[in-house]
Amino acid sequence: MTSLPERHGSAKRPDRSVVHRRPDGVSDATVAALGKLSEALEIVEHARGALFEFHRLCGSADLTLQDAVAELRTAGHGELAEEIEDCLVGRDVVDGMWSFQLVEAYDQHYWSVFRDVERIARDRAGNLPRHLFEAELKHREQGGTGDDVS
């Protein structure tokens, strides 16, 4: 019987160099805190993707609604179709805003600010690269020592 590492290869890469090097004098606590800030930014990025998905779904629903209204007219329900069209077709998803405006507001007032804050925090903490925490973690997981990351 073949072992799993023989079959698929080993995940260990002890000779692989560190992807991001920690500048001298940067503490483990700083790297961990900035790693947590980066994690929060990734969640914000995920939320942004969900917001774009919401925007696309709203647009698809509106187009499908317009098809339904046309089919109701064709089926002889013109008055009902007119009422539905007047009430729903093109309706704001939030009072005064279409779904793309929600995306734009999120981008301007939260996402772009969050990205800027995360970048400035890395710069002020020692001009650290993105994903330093993850780079060191993966290096250790692949068999590298903690001594060769700083």
pLDDT in tens, 103-150: 999 999 999 999 999 999 999 999 888 888 888 888 888 887 665 555
Residue 30 — very low, low, confident or very high, per pLDDT cuts 50/70/90? very high
CA count, 13 A, side-chain hemisphere, 136: 20
**What is the model's pLDDT at position 146?**
60
- Residues 44, 50: Cα–Cα separation, whole Å: 10
**What is the model's pLDDT at position 148?**
56
By the 10 Å C-beta count (0-12 exposed, 13-18 middle, 19+ buried), 46 is classed as exposed
pLDDT tens, 48-84?
999 999 999 999 999 999 999 999 999 999 999 999 9
Residue-wise over 1-40: b if at least 16 C-beta within 10 A, else e?
eeeeeeeeeeeeeeeeebebebeeebeeebbeebbebbee
Is the pTM here over 0.85, yes or no?
no
